[in-house]
Chain A
Amino acid sequence: MAEISEAPDSDSSKLLGSDSKAPQRPDSEPEFDPKLMRKTKPGLKRLFLTFSVLFSFLLGFPFLWKSVEIYRSPLPFREIDSLSTQLRSDTLLFPLHFHALFVGFDSDPDRLRWSILSEITKLTSQNPKCSDNYTLSVTVDLGSRCLRGPTSSPHSSSYQCGSVTGDDFVQNDDVVVDERLASVFGGKNNEYSMAVVKGVSERAVVGKYRHAWIVVGDGSDVEMAVVKVAEVLIKVFINGGREEGLIRNEFMPVGADGKIVLSFNLLNADPHDWVYDWDFEKIDDTLLTPMIEALGTVANISVESQVLYHTPKASFSYWNQKLESYVFSTKDLPFFVNSNEWHLDTSIAAGGRSKILQFAVYVPSAKECPLLLQLPNGEISKTNGFISPMWGGVIVWNPQGCLKDSEFKPSAKNIIPIQDLENMFEVFIGQFRQLFGFKSLNVYTGASGDWNLLPSERGFTEWELDVLSRQHTCFNLHSCATTLGSLSRLVQSLPRMIIKDEIGKQVKLSLEAAKLALSNASSGVYEFSAASSSQARSLAEDAFFHPSIMSVSYYSFEHCFAVYSPFFLPVSMHVVLAALRELRRYKQEKAKYLAWKAKANTAT
């Protein structure tokens, strides 16, 4: 430092050619004081030199700043917020249309319509998340002509007058009547139809498609029919036969990537007694495949099966002499699944975010055979099975005649008889429906009477699939919105976190799918809206759970500072100090020169 400060003086004296420091020179001007004055103008070169170095540093600074910038893919925060507010404020509305047909009644359609609507409003519960926007049209078929109300409704005008008569309902076969009505009504996606006829025997049936019918006796009035119509429309077609409208989260076992894996396990508790096998492929083709196809829009389902040996259960049973069998009660159910011995989760088809549902058939050992489930009211269970929400279901199957051990060869492999297997799979389908929140009884007991529910070969009727589509769309969209909201909050709270392009792309695609789902839902196309909503949810989950969002790899400010300061701090300090010092020196020399000039001017 000392050298540098000395050098300029000698330099300047060399460059400028004036030895302002020479005291031996005879004073031509006696007032010339070399410390306060100088005779020549100070040069600018040194100043320029130091300032050019400083300037080049300043010029390079933006390059440095850019090079340490964190790469953050721009996320559409405003759109995410708008999606959340849109879902929260205007509740998701599904448009539905109801059509009620009265055959053989002589009533005014508008009055009927008004009374049905008033009954409906009594039954509709407030559902904050997703609700339904319904319209109602009523047709009174008098045989020769039809009265419609409202007269201008496009939906009811598609019904041909006179297509449905009382004779259609004479026979007792519900399935035939169902098919007949299906050909009449058509059953488009968001239209539900009701037929009320006068007939001999009273009957109330909900079909497999999207219609239901009531046969009322001659003496009953139309008001009671109106109450029943309203009840089936709201409680069955909209709520799916449940009391509360909304499915709880534990009855939506769809994985975050929209997939479910059904894992069927045949558990032989003690292979020393007997070993059972099953013909799974055949039963899969006939029973499971239609159901899986039907649920294609709600979830992408795949099926696997395995047979396990040496799988005892963890709870105990006791011998009941009256029933001549071993009995376990519902209190033992939580301890039934012996997780130490039942190695069920060995799926290779399931990805990290799929949901696996385990369905286990338990074949008890000879020491505990037959094994029956006793309900709290003392009855024996008809299905011998139970479910655990979000996990799966278990059925206990007792081999034929297990008390008579003369018929069995313990070492040979036995196949479960096909009839038993079909019964078992019917219970499985019932359990699968239960996992989705649907009951499997064929009768719906409502406030105004019983309804027969026709079952479908596909495991779910069309109106049940509609309920599932609507509920899952609602759930998926809300889940997508909350996930994206959490992601945006997370990203904004950590300004130094790297956000890769992939995340930005997934967020954009998720928002597009959510918009598509919303538009499809509002126009009533449930399958597409369910599919897009599950895609939106899975993309949002992919974005949130992207493996690059890890807190330990955040490029913190302390890190940046610690890396760059050992070089830049000393160097910049030197450069800035040098520039400042040069400036100060220039100012001093300039002042000296000006003083000399002033003195010279006053002298002359």
Chain B
Amino acid sequence: METFINPKSLFHLLLLPCLLLYSSIAYNSSPVEAAMHTNNWAVLVCTSRFWFNYRHMANTLSLYRTVKRLGIPDERIILMLADDMACNTRNKYPAQVFNNENHRLNLYGDNVEVDYRGYEVTVENFLRVLTGRHETAVPRSKRLLSDEGSHILLYMTGHGGDEFLKFQDSEELQSHDLADAVKQMKEKHRFKELLIMVDTCQAATLFNQLQSPGVLAIGSSMKGENSYSHHLDSDVGVSVVDRFTYYTLAFFERLNIYDNASLSSLFSSYNPSLLMSTTYYRKDLYKRRLEEVPVTNFFGSVMETIHTDAAYKALSRRNSGRFEDEMSLDQSVHHIKRRMLIKVNDGDEIHDINPEGEEGASKCPWSTFRNKFQKAENVDSLLNYGLVAMIPLLVISTWLVQ
């Protein structure tokens, strides 16, 4: 007993866990420092087709307009619209999309750049945008080129249900697919923080499986609840906006790029009785406090800037025309050559879908067998071999019957 009270041993007793704690902190904090917030991206997805889903298109276009107005440029917005309402033959106001029956604002007016339109909006393309796994020919404007300092806003609207979101009325995005894509994005440091907003029925179930840190998610309704449209435009003939998006826009119409309203004020502005559903937001994965995060961190674009103090005055001796003019041309040729070189490497892979693979182990008979069907090189001859092997069995058994 006395030894515990002894200060020296107490000191030693406390020292060891402190050392352990310190070393664990030191080990954990050394690998990656927190990156600076450098840019904002927005991925806005409308997943429904057909004329009666006009309001989903209007939702997405309204958010597109808001995000552009607050400063995010087109090159950092990926807009995916599953159908074309503006030029739909049932549209009484051609080339115009409204989100209010007063028709004050034409969302499709000017400067709208749609990156994925019509049938290009599929679950596969959506997941490719998120994870970054495109074919080499996909242009830069269709890629999410974010880096470890990016904040991404992901807005999805359409029809959904318990743990899924319906795409194009023919396929579904499941919550585990979304969680998987977000996990891969986090592994590759494709975002610093991610805000997911979903406006569908039972939206909160879509992020049940999320586990990556730095993700904040808000859904327009909880499990078992529907999300409703706001009002019907009797002139256009369909509902033109959803309640959740309508109240979101009402919040943002009061702001400009200089404002610093916080995310918690956005989240608390939703009134369940007006929305006729309960918004649910998931902030357990998000470390910062919502009162301290301005909405322009996701919805607007504020560049980090550093003043340039000095020019690099090196150039006392310059001989104009001394260097070859072809230098930059050489570089572009080199560039092209390098790209061609990459393409050549593509060509000598073995044929793509080869379900009979080769085994990793190399036992002698197995390797000869492997060599044999590498020479065979397709499925048909393998089947032939199998059938041929079965014939003796067949022969024997028929002989026995007779």
Contact = CB atoms under 8 A, between A and B. Distances in A.
Interface in A341-378: 342, 344-345, 347, 349-352, 373, 375
Interface residues on B, range: 35 or more
Given A303-B328, A430-B310, A552 B355 contact: no
A286 B308 contact: no
A71 B355 contact: yes
B322 to A, nearest CB: 8
B305 interface: yes
Contacts, number: 264
A56 B401 CA distance: 16
B134 A547 contact: yes
Contact of B308 (A129, A284, A385): A385
B85 to A, nearest CB: 23
Contacts of B303: 333-334, 337, 388, 391
Nearest to B132: A545
A381 B147 contact: no
A226 B218 CA distance: 61
Interface string B120-143: 000110011001111110111101
Contact residues of A: prevailing secondary structure: mixed
B177 A552 contact: yes
Given A349-B332, A457-B318, A500-B349, A434 B38 contact: no
Contact of B187 (A314, A383, A486): A486
Interface residues on A, range: 35 or more
Contacts of A352: 134, 136, 138-140, 143, 145
B5 interface: no
Interface string B36-69: 1011000000000000000000000000000010
A78 interface: no
Interface in B89-117: 111
Contact of B312 (A302, A344, A426, A551): A426
Contact of A60 (B148, B386, B400): B386
B365 interface: no
A427 B311 contact: yes
Nearest to B320: A286
B224 interface: no
B314 interface: yes
Contacts of A401: none
B259 interface: no
Interface stretch (B71-79, B230-238, B268-276): B71-79
Given A286-B318, A350-B140, A429 B360 contact: no
B304 interface: yes
B133 A549 contact: yes
B136 A250 contact: no
Contacts of B15: none
A434 B389 CA distance: 72
B31 to A, nearest CB: 8
B396 interface: yes
Interface of B: 30-31, 33, 35-36, 38-39, 68, 71-76, 111, 123-124, 127-128, 131-136, 138-141, 143, 145, 147-149, 177, 180-181, 184, 187-188, 257-258, 301-315, 317-325, 327-328, 331-332, 334-335, 338-339, 345-346, 349-350, 352-357, 360, 379, 382, 386, 389-390, 393-394, 396-397, 400-401
Given A339-B74, A382-B309, A551-B177, 20 more contacts: A49-B397, A55-B393, A59-B393, A71-B357, A88-B31, A128-B31, A286-B320, A287-B318, A289-B323, A382-B311, A386-B306, A387-B306, A391-B39, A426-B315, A430-B311, A434-B306, A457-B318, A498-B353, A502-B349, A551-B127
Interface of A: 45, 48-49, 52-53, 55-56, 59-60, 63, 66-72, 74, 88, 128-129, 248-250, 259, 281-282, 284-287, 289-290, 292-293, 300-303, 314, 330, 333-337, 339-340, 342, 344-345, 347, 349-352, 373, 375, 381-383, 385-391, 393, 395, 422-423, 426-427, 429-431, 433-434, 439-442, 455-457, 459, 483, 486, 489-490, 498, 500-502, 505, 544-547, 549-553
